[in-house]
Structure 1
C-alpha cells in the first residue's frame, strides 16, 4: 500500500482539551497521518493559536468546522484533507460528522457517537448513503490482550458464554468539581446541554458496554438499571449498575461509577463460559488471565509468540515492555488508516485492519445510554434493549 500518509484534519482539541492531545499522539504514532488543518476551538483566536503551536499553515487553521469543510472541499484532490477527527463535546459530534461525511471525508469520532440515539441512527444512514467510513474511538478495544480475549471467545475455547462482568470505577467526580469553575472536563461532562441524557453511563458506561459486546461477541437484549446521582447539585448521573440479558440467554453485570473515591481508570472485564473464563483489567493491560476448568490458571502476556494475529498486529514492543492507553488509541487510528489505504488501492483490507469500532457500535452505545436512563427511571424490572427512538 506504499508509504503515503493520509491527510488529517481536526475539529475541537484546542488547548486544555485532554482528548484532543491524545488523538494527535495516536495519529502520529504509526506515521499513517499528517495533520494538515483544523478548527480547534469555538474561539477563533484560540483556534489560530493552536494552529501556531502545531505549526500548521495559517491558511488551513479555520474559525469553525463549517469553514474547514467548505474551504477544504475547494482544494485540489491531492491537497485536501481526507480524514476528519472530531474531538468536541458530545453535543457537537453530529453536525460536523454529518457535514464531513456528506462532503466526501472519512471521520474519526470520539465516543459516545452523538448527543442522542436519533442522531446516531441518522449518522448510520449517512454513512450508508455516502460510502464514507467512520471510526469510533472506543479505546479499550485497541488493547492487544482485549483483542486476544475476543479471539479466544471466537475460537470456542471457553464454550458457550454463561456470565459476563464489566466494571469501570473512577473517583474524579466524587466531589462537586463542576462547581469550582476550574475544571473544564467536569463542567461539560456533567452538563445535560453538552453531554446528553447521561453522565457516568454515557462517559464510561458506554466503554464497559462496548467491551462486553466486543469480547463476548454477544449483544445485550434486556436490561435492568439502577442509576444514581450521588453528589448533591449534580445534574446528571455519576453512578450506576446494570443487570443484563445477552443474546444467547446468559446474563451479565455492568458497573460504572465516577464517585468511587480514589479510583482512577481501572476498567475491567471478566467473561465465563462452560469450559473456562478470562479476565482483563487496564491496570495490568499486558496480562490476560485465562482460567480453564480443571487446569491451572494461565497468564497470557502481550508480545507472546503464542498469541493470535489480532493481538500480534496490535503489539508494538517486545514482550515485557508495557504498552498502554496511548498505544491502544493509536491501534484504532492505524487500523482505520490501513483500511482506507487498502480501499484507495482497490485492495481488500485484512480482517485485522477492519477490527475497529464503527457506526454500528456508535448506534448501540447511544441505545445503551437511552435504555439505561429509561430503565433507571422505571419501576419495571426488565426492559427490552431497543434501537428505536
Structure 2
C-alpha cells in the first residue's frame, strides 16, 4: 500500500502548526509530505520546503503553480492540508476542491460563518472528503469517554463543564502566532472563542453525544484596546435538557493549555484533562472511583486501536493529531471513519462562534443555536 502524498498550504518559517501537521501526518507512515505552498513569499516558501526536506522544485510560490505542476506529475499530491491563519482557509479550500483535491484543514474552518456556509457548498459540489483537525477528539481516552457515555455508563447526561484556560495573551500580543489571532481581519470576529472556544465546544458535543441547542454568552476583550475577545463564559443548553458551562480564556496568567472536561449523569461522573491525557476518571453514584489508563486492557475497540504504546508509556498531542490523520487516510482509501470531524463540525463550530459573538455584544440572553 503506497503512502498518500500530501501538499501543505501554510506552515512557513516560524510556524508552530506546520511542523506539527507534518509529524502527525507521517507518524503512521500512511502519508508523506511531498509538496507545498508554505508562504505567500516565494523565497520563504522555498526556505520552508528545504526545512521539510522535500524536493526543492515542489516548494511552490502560489496555489495555481502547485496545482498545475502536481496535476502533471504521475506522483502528484493526493490531498492538501491547510495550516494557515483563518482568513486563508476558505480561498485555499475552495481552490483545492476546484482542483479535485480533498482537504484537511486547521480549525476553525473559516474566519466567518458566511464563509463556512460557502465552504459547505463547495464541499458538497465537489463530492470530496473534507476534514477538520479537532485534535482533542483524537485522544484515545476521549474516544473511550464518548464510547462509555454512549453505552450508558453515566446514564442520562445532566451537566457538562468544559474549561480551556490559557495565559499567553494576558499581555501585549507580540510575535507572529499572537498578532494574527487578535486581528479580526485575519482571525475573524471571534478571538479566543474561535481559537480555543471552538475546541471546547466540539469536545463537549463529541464526548456527550449531544447537540447544544441554546447558549448564553458573555465574551470580553479584557486587555485594553484588543479588538477581539480574549475571555469567554458561555452557558449551554443541550438537546436533552442538560445544562453546561464553557469557559475559555487566554488571559489567565500561569495557565498553559489546561483543557478539561467534566460530564455528570444520573449514575456517575467523568473527568478528562488534556495536560494529563493518559488517565480518565470515572465516579459512580455509590462512591466508587475508577481510573482508566491509556493502553489498558479495559479500553473499548476504538480507543484501543488508537493507542500505540503499552500502559505506562505516555502518549500525547502528536499521537492524538496523528489519529485524525489516520482517520482521514482511511477515508481517502475508501474506508469509513465515523469519528473524523468534518464539514458538519465546521458549520456547527462557526455557528457557535458567530452566535456567541453576536449575542454577547447585544446582551441578548438565551439565544438559539441554529445551524
What TM-score comes out, normalization by structure 2 length? 0.98
1:229 and 2:229 correspond: no
Aligned-pair Cα RMSD in Å: 1.1
1:318 and 2:310 correspond: yes
1:200 and 2:192 correspond: yes
- C-alpha separation in 2, matches of 1:194 and 1:104: 26
| Equivalences, count | 371
**Which residues of 2 match residues 1-389 of structure 1 at below 5 A?**
3-76=1-74, 79-178=75-174, 183-341=175-333, 343=334, 349-350=335-336, 353-387=337-371
Shift of 1:152: 0.7
Shift of 1:378: 1.7
Task: Determine helix, strand or coil for the equivalent of 1:376.
Answer: helix
Task: Determine helix, strand or coil for the equivalent of 2:110.
Answer: coil
Contact preservation (8 Å) 2:129, 2:331: no
- C-alpha separation in 2, matches of 1:378 and 1:54: 46
- C-alpha separation in 2, matches of 1:66 and 1:260: 42
- C-alpha separation in 1, matches of 2:254 and 2:239: 35
- C-alpha separation in 2, matches of 1:208 and 1:364: 12
Contact preservation (8 Å) 2:221, 2:228: yes
- C-alpha separation in 1, matches of 2:189 and 2:57: 38
Shift of 1:315: 0.4
Stretches of structure 1 lacking an aligned partner (at least 5 in a row): 344-348
Task: Determine helix, strand or coil for the equivalent of 1:17.
Answer: coil
Shift of 1:173: 0.4
Shift of 1:64: 1.3
Shift of 1:96: 1.0
Task: Determine helix, strand or coil for the equivalent of 2:275.
Answer: helix
Contact preservation (8 Å) 2:12, 2:45: yes
- C-alpha separation in 2, matches of 1:277 and 1:261: 29
Shift of 1:75: 2.9
- C-alpha separation in 2, matches of 1:51 and 1:215: 38
Stretches of structure 2 lacking an aligned partner (at least 5 in a row): none
Task: Tell me what 1:346 maps to.
Answer: none
Task: Determine helix, strand or coil for the equivalent of 1:197.
Answer: coil
The superposition leaves residues 261-318 of structure 1 with CA deviations (integer Å, 9 ceiling, x where unpaired) of 0100010001111111101001210010111111411001100111111111110111
Task: Determine helix, strand or coil for the equivalent of 2:270.
Answer: strand
Shift of 1:126: 1.8
- C-alpha separation in 2, matches of 1:135 and 1:356: 7
Task: Determine helix, strand or coil for the equivalent of 1:171.
Answer: coil
- C-alpha separation in 2, matches of 1:251 and 1:188: 34
* Greater mean alpha carbon deviation, residues 225-234 or residues 46-55: 46-55
Contact preservation (8 Å) 1:6, 1:34: yes
* Greater mean alpha carbon deviation, residues 254-263 or residues 51-60: 51-60
Task: Determine helix, strand or coil for the equivalent of 1:320.
Answer: coil
- C-alpha separation in 2, matches of 1:317 and 1:198: 38
